A and B are shown apart, each in its own frame.
Chain A
């Protein structure tokens, strides 16, 4: 309690100091210093203990991994120049880039890689990204610039895990020096150095003069958290921000007509859907599930909800995901929907409830679905639930029979951009709540087998075949109303270079090549 009282009086006296400082500061910014406005607060600067894209965005300017994604989500070498996977998908060997050092001068070598992979693989560290490396048996330093990682079981998608931002390399010396506080003292090999971080306000990075990749574009980058959509747009318009994301679709029009501002939108690796609890009536009947797919006009959905800025879902995976294979869309056909419902024994429709989060665009989507389903006689009630409440209602259910979930509107963005993480957690039979995110309670033997087959192999052709089959079955079984592929929408001053929002939702502030 004493501390609080102290804070109280200290704050009062500091208030005056702050006001004085505030007057002294001007708004003058040199052209080489840029401001990026995003919608949430930074949580951590330890990539191995991060799970939000906002934090990853800043971390990716400071740190680098062995592998990475370029702006088209293609796997590229960053700190590794080349790599070999054993045919059984159990051993992965990397040849490292020479002459790279961390920002604190520590050389980057095989020993440094081992320190990082060991840190990630050790469950005792309780890192948020441990699961990317929980299959690692051991990491072996072959020589100064070669390192091999051995897995306990075959895992075909492992290279995607290495390219995940959660697998970026931290200076072993910094890990030693800062211990648990590494999250606020980041030291990596990237082009930008950490300068300061005022929680809830801003985070500033400055140029790394010794960057191995050559000259760095900007003297400094300041990230600001601006939660209100309209405010971010206003900041770009008034020149206070150089790059803003996300841009709400409703505001596109305002920015598009303004000179000197570029508005861009690219497809993400995400997918939007309305799941139906396949263990509960009436959704146990495949005809009902297909009927609802025919009942929703996806083009109108995209036009009304996303102002036309979204793609139509053509599988349970987004086209940017590895091993995506397109399916024949369910056309908008309310008559057919009614016929299927009648065949299933619901000529007058039925009543159901859809759970949705509290974001206004999600509620808009839910309302659209409500309107569409009403036309085929399905009376869908909307329950908009705050995130914690929703989590409880979905995952505090031990026995599937006790689940109260009927329909759920959600989206899924596999951060590895691979088919495995794109399907298994949301449609895999082992992943029904509370284990995973399979809100449709979808359990299909063939799909489960295909997913397992894809997991057990590192052979591209084998994996491709397995995932193609799985996608086909899922599409036909229709555990979801397949809706849309969201887009990343961002806007920036046309003078800006090399700042890109990647399909996985993280920002890249320099080009990898």
Chain B
């Protein structure tokens, strides 16, 4: 679905990269071949541990119903995402749990046909289960070495420059961008000469409205925060069900960096200014997109 008045490009899901041969065998035989490959270990992962087949056929398949039916995600201005070559997507981060990362991955995978390689906090890679699922679905650690390597390989890299400050901010701060760290993502983009595509995600703020914290428990568990929402921990595990807010994801005009020399990445002034610029663009997109969406929970509110 496209937003009226905007040129949204809708690409059918079948355009996404997949492992089906065009004149492939019967679905049953295909499923068996898939199982045989998985059981015998006869599949490829890239050097970051990205398992494209598992991601497309299993992991994203589990998230797609949530994307389409729970959050009813609508995307716009997908034309700003390059169809090939390295690019860096910078988006706002919110929602207490990083559900926005998953939704953006589905959006780019299914509607642009490109795997999204997110740069995540090191905490992700220390936690059991999350550590290997993050790698298998194509993501890696937020460090300059990994970012540079992915961009050099021409991958579509995603960052949430706000980090924990963004995803863990209280509900009262919603849709207000937090500080953007040191702008390491901008330096990486300059080094690789790839465009920065600003992205605004509206809807994630309302899924777990954080109204308080349990700092003692957070320290005990080694987590950045343990949230209190209207339903968690009050309703126990039931409180972990995200509220079905309406989501919009919009991509902005790419900010080119190929005019700079790669050595400009070491110029802190330039990096800070460009980081500020990206931040302002995203904040503006965010405010407009929020107005366009209206109520978070139509048709109830």
Bind each other: no
State the A residues within 8 Å of B (CB).
Answer: none
